[in-house]
């Protein structure tokens, strides 16, 4: 594939999985990497609606076939990065574990995406995003005073998982290109989600965070950092943590600072929250936007994902784009010299098998033999 972006010379093999591993591969593709997805023969899917699978080609390999495994090893010998998201031991049983792969390609970065990690008492247990972040303390810190609330699967699968896998494989690639030494990247969601809580551990060490949910500065406990309902049932977000921003909020709301002291102790938080709630209930969300948006009170309306696209700021930055009739996130982050781009819609599994094998050095006769053997 002809690509552009900061990773345009990087070749990636993605052994197809769920959730965070495909999202990592999507990000690498958006940044220009040539990502080949290894699918199962007979698998279904593809098309513009499969946003997480956009931007790569698909090679269908029957990895129960010795011929297919040998072909995969040959491709591994040419790859920069391998990504897999299976339970520990699956790739080894297929004959494609790290020992085999790094023997074929000592410079290979072998990225492994799991929830629990490659070892530990839970390593072989099934689980999903919610279970992983529950174990780390992240879920226990998110929600109301009465109950934790699932934060979509952003904190685990995509924040603690895919982002750390992407960071890990690119860090390892930098090392491999400087030293010639490849390595295994064990990207576990429990590790990544724990890492994301560094600021909470810092606040706790400073005596500014407790395990009581809804009682802290950034978890909805503070009156000046939270979400409020408006007269029309919509919501706004408010976050003037700094004294000068809080003072500006009081000015915009025409409130006497003597009656609204900036209280970091928590002593008057519940009272102030109730009073703020009553104030914000007096106007619609749009009315509050007219008064507060764009100022330093640290304000934004709470939008749904459809509304977000048409907001002037999001629209000017084209943060959401229409690609082949499907609205989806644009590649991020942005680069001044080597911008990324969406390369293609998600491929139909196996649609690119012959082209991929040709590009990776297989002769026509070899491709025909693989097909005859049922390996491709």
Active site residues: 128, 157
* Dist CA 248 CA 250 (whole Å): 5
Q: Which 3-state string (H, E, C) describes 227-243?
A: EEECCCCCEEEECCCCH
Q: Assign 363 to helix, strand or coil.
A: coil
Cα–Cα distance list, 250 to 9, 70, 126, 280 (Å): 53, 69, 50, 13
* Dist CA 279 CA 365 (whole Å): 75
E strand residue ranges, the chain: 11-15, 34-39, 57-60, 81-84, 109-114, 183-188, 226-229, 235-238, 299-301, 320-323, 326-329
Q: Which of 138, 140, 141 is nearest to 154 (CA)?
A: 138
* Dist CA 277 CA 279 (whole Å): 5
Q: Are strands 109-114 and 235-238 parallel, antiparallel or unpaired?
A: unpaired
* Dist CA 335 CA 348 (whole Å): 30
Q: Which of 143, 194, 201, 191 is nearest to 168 (CA)?
A: 191
Q: Assign 346 to helix, strand or coil.
A: strand
Alpha carbon distance, N-terminus to C-terminus of the chain: 20
CB 189 within 8 A of CB 133: yes
* Dist CA 339 CA 341 (whole Å): 7
* Dist CA 77 CA 120 (whole Å): 30
* Dist CA 109 CA 79 (whole Å): 9
């Amino acid at each position: 594939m002809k690509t552009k972006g900061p990773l345009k010379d990087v070749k990636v093999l993605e052994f197809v999985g769920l959730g965070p591993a495909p999202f990592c591969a999507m990000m690498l593709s958006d940044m220009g990497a040539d990502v080949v997805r290894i699918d199962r023969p007979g698998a279904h899917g593809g098309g513009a609606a499969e946003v997480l699978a956009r931007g790569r080609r698909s090679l269908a390999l029957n990895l129960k076939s010795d011929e297919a495994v040998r072909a995969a090893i040959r491709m591994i010998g040419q790859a920069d990065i391998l990504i897999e998201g299976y339970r520990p031991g699956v790739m080894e049983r297929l004959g494609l574990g790290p020992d085999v792969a790094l023997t074929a390609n000592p410079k290979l970065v072998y990225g492994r995406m799991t929830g629990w990690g490659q070892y530990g008492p839970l390593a072989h247990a099934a689980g999903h995003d919610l279970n992983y972040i529950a174990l780390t303390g992240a879920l226990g810190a998110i929600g109301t005073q009465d109950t934790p609330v699932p934060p979509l699967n952003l904190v685990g699968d995509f924040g603690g998982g895919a982002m750390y896998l992407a960071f890990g494989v690119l860090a390892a690639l930098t090392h491999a290109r400087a030293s010639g030494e490849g390595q295994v990247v064990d990207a576990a969601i429990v590790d990544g989600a724990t890492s994301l809580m560094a600021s909470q551990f810092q606040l706790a060490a400073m005596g500014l965070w407790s395990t009581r949910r809804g009682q802290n500065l950034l978890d909805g406990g503070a009156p000046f950092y939270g979400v409020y309902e408006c007269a029309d049932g919509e919501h706004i977000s408010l976050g003037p943590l700094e004294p000068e921003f809080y003072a500006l909020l009081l000015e915009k709301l025409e409130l006497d600072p003597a009656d609204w002291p900036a209280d970091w102790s928590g002593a008057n938080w519940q009272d102030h929250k109730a009073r703020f709630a009553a104030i914000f209930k007096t106007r619609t969300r749009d009315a509050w936007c007219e008064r507060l948006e764009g100022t330093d009170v640290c304000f934004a309306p709470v939008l749904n994902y459809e509304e977000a696209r048409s907001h002037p700021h999001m629209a000017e930055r084209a943060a959401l784009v229409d690609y082949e009739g499907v609205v989806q996130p644009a590649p991020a982050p942005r680069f001044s010299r080597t911008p990324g781009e969406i390369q293609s819609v998600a491929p139909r599994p196996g649609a690119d098998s012959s082209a991929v094998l040709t590009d990776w050095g297989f002769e026509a006769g070899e491709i025909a033999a693989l097909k005859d053997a049922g390996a491709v």
